[in-house]
Amino acid sequence: MSDISHLTPLLAIETSCDDTACAILDAHGALLGESVLSQEDHAALGGVVPELAARAHLKALPELVELTLQRAGLELEDIALFAATTGPGLIGGLIVGSSYAKGLAMACGKPFMGINHIEGHILTPRLPAVLRPDETAPAFPYLALLVSGGHCQCITVEDTGQYRRLGGTIDDSAGEAFDKVAKMLGLGWPGGPALEKLAREGDPQAYSLPRPLKGRPGCDFSFSGLKTAVARHIEPYGREALPRQVAADLAASFQQAVTDVMADRILNALALAPQVTSLVVAGGVAANSVLRQRLEEIASQHGITFLAPPLRLCTDNAAMIGWAALERLKQGEVPDDITLAPRPRWPLSERQPYRPQATQETSSTGHSSLMEPSA
């Protein structure tokens, strides 16, 4: 392991979707200061509007960074390295967050590191703030299930920077399906927590819903057909509000179907990766208690440890971005070139810094101007 004390404390920024977050970590991964601002304007619009999200990030970041520094008892000049989510995610938010971090790095004469959002999530269970006093960080290799509004993947985490994708969604992510079904049930957005709450009043066996891909080989996911099935049960009610019990039964049946699919896919993943020592779940949907309980049962049956972050670290946060940077630095990696470009899609298999030369133009001052590559 490399000595990284000269590169800490580090300040990390996360702006890949609709949460603006900042965190400061020391060399051991202790959280010195943390701030998260959830954007509320999207709720009335039924989902995240990328342009509005980017503008909100730009407005929030200066005060959020200052607040995080105050909570850490530090000044900006005390920061040794700046990190930011550079992809995947909504490109507007990625540009705002990474550009702001780069600007701070340049102003302070300190290095910058771009972090993959997915890597942040799947390394979160190793973050000291996640672990209880009686827990230890999961040893490599472990199986990670990432379930959020934008991602749904099974990944074998063999070491920092060594990941094997076993499967992923072929249409909607689990979080997207939760949000869409919640909207059908009149629960608003974000829908996951509201749907889980309503489901407690319902019968998970009340409606016979499909379990897409259940029983088939592999670890891929599909939720669009399940979402459509729920819509068909709602159609007879037309524009009328659903009776409370009907909505509750549909919510419980939907949640049970998703959990059954997840369990089936994880069992396949464990068969493909029998060497794993732990099963970890990360991402916003990891906050769902029914899913957590089912996965914990599977882990126990296989004699492996089950780990899930605290609820506040399941959703997007900057602590996971800072921790991913620390993990990479400990492996001997060096901070990225300041010209590292944000990208909306960034598979974990593409670990090397992404610098599309064809889209970088050198100005008269000798600095590169960053331009997003065309699709």
- Show Cβ contacts of residue 89 under 8 Å, excluding neighbours closer than 6 positions: 15, 16, 17, 117, 150, 344
CA 93/CA 42 separation, integer angstroms:
14
Please determine whether the domains at 5-123+315-369 and 136-308 fall in the same fold group of CATH. Answer: yes
Domain 5-123+315-369 has CATH 3.40.50.2000: no
Does the pLDDT at position 375 exceed 50?
no
Tokens in use for 117?
């959002």
Mean pLDDT of the chain: 89
Summarize pLDDT for 287-322 with one digit per residue, the tens: 899 999 999 999 999 999 999 888 889 889 999 999
Choices 3.40.50.20, 3.30.420.40, 3.30.2290.10, 3.40.1080.10: CATH for 136-308:
3.30.420.40
Q: What distance separates the 2 farthest-apart alpha carbons in the chain?
A: 68
Nearest CA to 11 out of 39, 32, 28 is that of 32
Instruction: Indicate the domain borders of the chain.
Output: 5-123+315-369, 136-308
On the question of pLDDT at 374 being above 70, the answer is no
Is residue 178 very low, low, confident or very high in pLDDT (cuts 50, 70, 90)?
Answer: very high
Contact, 103 vs 367, CB < 8 A?
A: no
Strand order in the sheet with 142-147: 162-168, 152-159, 142-147, 278-282, 305-307
Query: Could you tell me the two tokens for 55?
Result: 């503008």
Q: What is the mean pLDDT of the segment spanning 180-187? A: 94
Percent of the chain exceeding pLDDT 70 equals 91
In percent, how much of the chain has pLDDT > 90? 74
pLDDT: which is higher, 366 or 289:
289
Q: Which amino acid is at 61?
A: L
pLDDT at 215: 96
Q: In whole angstroms, what is the distance from residue 267 CA to residue 276 CA? A: 12
Annotated binding residues for substrate: 146-150, 179, 192, 196, 288
Q: Enumerate the known binding-site residues.
A: 117, 121, 146-150, 179, 192, 196, 288, 316
On the question of pLDDT at 81 being above 90, the answer is yes
Provide the pLDDT for residue 349: 86
Question: What residues are designated binding site for Fe cation?
Answer: 117, 121, 316
183 pLDDT band, cuts 50/70/90, is: very high
Contact (CB, 8 A) for 228 and 244: no
Nearest to 319, CA basis, from 3, 36, 52, 2: 36
Closest CA to 198 of 147, 249, 151: 249
pTM, whole model, 2 decimals? 0.89
Taking the alpha carbons of 120, 121, 127, 130 in that order, is the dihedral positive or negative?
A: positive
Per-residue pLDDT tens for 1-60? Answer: 678 889 999 999 999 998 999 999 999 999 999 999 987 676 666 677 888 999 999 999
Contact by Cβ (8 Å): 353, 336: yes
| C-alpha span between 250 and 246 (Å, rounded) | 6
